[in-house]
Chain A
Amino acid sequence: MTDIFGLLKGKPEDSDYEKKGVIVQGITGAYGSLHAKNMMAYGTNIVAGVTPGKGGQRFEDKVPIYNTMQEAVNATNAKISIIYVPAKFFLSAAKEALESGIKLLVAIPEHVPIRDTMEALELANQKGAVIIGPNTPGIMIPELIKVGIMPPMPFKAGKIAVLSKSGTLLYEISDALTKAGFGQSITIGIGGDPINGTRLIDAYEMVKDISDLEGMVVVGEIGGDSEEILAQRIIDSGFNKPTVAYIAGRAAPKEKRMGHAGAIVMGTYGSAESKISMFNKANIPVAKRPAEVPVLLAGKMRKSD
């Protein structure tokens, strides 16, 4: 099982404990540079950037830029990378990262073809690496490290794990949680694509044994059956931390893609009803509105006291 905290934080005896290096692939692009700056401002230790043809330059007069991932990894020994390249180039960027020894790959681009995601995943499996995304806002341990594109304001350090398919709903719901006094131990963006490098069930496995975890929030949406499978796993594994879910897309018409490539109901496959009924079966309340999530969570916590 992936030790996600080990990857993001390291161990207290590590010399780079709580400042693990992150490489930014596509650091000189408009999007990549903006978010590289934002991550640095948040305290993420950006140790290198990669842009073919710009090797030797420095980003913000500070971060060295390399032509290839291999050079960047050789120079920094970083195990984390984040990709900001157009979807068409995602596969080659991902391959380069995985071949160079990256163990945690955060894939930001939207519109990556499914076949490319599958190919990248196959390589990640061979290399024992984890891919978060594609089409994800990223992953963060609030107030410690952010590998992604989320704005900082909604998040606060705490003891609730938030897993979300959607970016803006992750912000919205974390904001509501923070205001209600529920900080977050970790937030994992699953992504809105049909195929996710880290599925809800994988993300659950990453967080379920956090020693001081006090609760979990799952933000799902129509499409596929990963919420159903997660609910079943929660039942089977006897997970007993207060958990609340939210599912977007109840009012969406069938067979229409609702913005996300993965948000589509085909027949009954992927319907909100199916997900909600499975969560109910797992004794997990499903909020009707994002603002209701902290209310339901507080209710669950009172019950479990």
Chain B
Amino acid sequence: MRLLEFQAKELFREYGINLLDSKSSTNIEEGRKHAKELGYPFVIKIQVPVGGRGKAGGIQKCQNDDEFEIKYPQVMDLTIKGEKARAILLEKMADIKKELYLSLFLNRSKRCYTIIASAEGGIEIESVKNQIIKEVGLGEVSDEIARQVAKEMELEGKPADGFVDTLKKLSKLTIEKEAELAEINPLAIMQDDTIMALDGKFVTDDNSNFRHEELEKYQEKTEIEERAEKSGFSLVELDGDIAVVGNGAGLVMSTLDMLSDNGGKPACFLDVGGGATTESVYEALTLISKISRVKGILVNLYGGIVKTTVVAEAFLKAYENNLIDLPVFSRLKGTESEKAKEMLQGSRTKIYDSVEEAINAAVMEVKK
């Protein structure tokens, strides 16, 4: 899971990484209380699980009560890359000498953790210059390696010591929580030469969640996502109007791509997993019925040994129970497809021989 900034900072604090004073709230009453406790000036930061907050106006300086009353609701109402505010973080302003970049990530092809650091931080990693990249194995970063990175960044004296300390703590945190990415950008050298984490990004391995009860409180799931997980489905909500359902992550992604190529806008990615049964397809339709923006459903099942009649039954049952009233465009690869087509005659579900045909029909229908 991807933690929000304030959540990442809770972990940073626990591991002794230096931070500015900050408080997170979810409504303005709570925010007002925090404003008093912190004292002006401070920064209002939107908490969303995506980057690019500054550019979108999600980070605002605040000097007094009047500004606070205007800016807090403004920031709270922003939607950034489709993501609404989860919380608002108020953070004291900092007197910064220099901004650095530091991250540790799981290097998938090298199968080890890798440090990326730069003396020129504060901008998106893609634009960070003079990156120092060091593969560090699976264990914690040693003092020696941390010193070496600091040296390559041309840090000396107190800032170098602070950097080494921060890197080692970040590495301990990354390994203990089984993270795929831990990023501090910017990592700042303050006027007094101390090192502080001004931002935080932390992505953990979802498959290790069962070993990390302490992280459960950060788990963010909509009701639909929760139900999907219970059924063993993977579901990603998107902002279009055609729900995309299939079996297998690759196949559903591929369907999403083809739909987008043809001018369609996916409303969700829903992978029902390996085999398709009447029950699983019915449950998938149930979940989709809860997404109000959906105007049509595109189904792409590569059955293999699946009987398409079994899937057709789920569609019929869904209409019969008034679960859905939407047109379904489906491509069902499997056995008994002629019989399935017959079963669905007169219903709002159409079966197509190829996914391309199903997509074209779905896009046409939704544009109507």
Residues of A within 8 A of B (CB): 87-88, 111-115, 118, 121, 149-151, 153-154, 164-172, 175, 192, 194-195, 199, 201, 219, 221-226, 229, 246, 248-263, 266-268, 288-291
Contacts and interface: CB of A to CB of B under 8 A. Distances in A.
B180 A251 contact: no
Contacts of B256: 249, 251-252
A225 B108 contact: yes
Nearest to B234: A259
A166 B354 contact: no
Given A224-B108, A225-B108, A260 B250 contact: yes
Query: Of A170, A249, A259, A263, which is in contact with the most chain B CB atoms at under 10 Å from its CB?
Result: A259
Interface stretch (B159-167, B258-266, B291-299, B337-345): B258-266
A38 B40 CA distance: 69
Given A114-B207, A121-B111, A192-B249, 13 more contacts: A114-B178, A166-B249, A171-B304, A172-B251, A248-B250, A251-B257, A257-B234, A258-B236, A259-B253, A260-B249, A262-B108, A266-B203, A267-B125
A289 B258 contact: yes
18 contacts: A113-B205, A118-B111, A151-B305, A167-B250, A169-B248, A172-B302, A192-B250, A194-B106, A201-B109, A224-B109, A246-B254, A248-B253, A250-B260, A251-B260, A255-B2, A259-B269, A262-B108, A288-B258
Interface in B40-59: 49-51
A87 B209 CA distance: 12
A201 to B, nearest CB: 8
A201 B108 CA distance: 12
Contacts, number: 154
A251 B259 contact: yes
Contact-residue size bin, chain B (C-beta under 8 Å from the other chain): 35 or more
Given A194-B108, A229-B109, A288-B261, A168 B247 contact: yes
A266 B179 CA distance: 14
A260 B236 CA distance: 12
Interface majority SS on B: helix, strand, loop or mixed?
mixed
Contact of A166 (B180, B251, B260, B304): B251
Interface string B289-316: 0000000000000101100000000000
Contact of B257 (A201, A248, A263, A266): A248
Contacts of B49: 255
A113 B304 CA distance: 29
B271 interface: yes
A254 B51 CA distance: 10
A91 to B, nearest CB: 12
B304 A112 contact: no
B83 to A, nearest CB: 10
B206 A261 contact: yes
A26 to B, nearest CB: 16
Nearest to A121: B111
A253 B251 CA distance: 16
A291 B138 CA distance: 41
B144 interface: no
B180 A267 contact: no
Nearest to A270: B108
B252 interface: yes
Nearest 3 Cβ contacts at the A-B interface? A166-B250, A259-B249, A168-B248
A72 to B, nearest CB: 26
A266 B251 contact: no
B249 A114 contact: no
B208 interface: yes
A169 B180 contact: no
A167 B248 contact: yes
Contacts of B108: 194-195, 223-226, 262
Interface string B2-38: 1000000000000000000000000000000000000
B207 A87 contact: yes
Interface in B210-260: 210-211, 234, 236, 238, 246-254, 256-260
B124 interface: yes
A261 B304 CA distance: 24
B273 to A, nearest CB: 9
A111 B259 CA distance: 28
Nearest to B211: A113
Contacts of B304: 150-151, 153-154, 171
Nearest to A165: B250
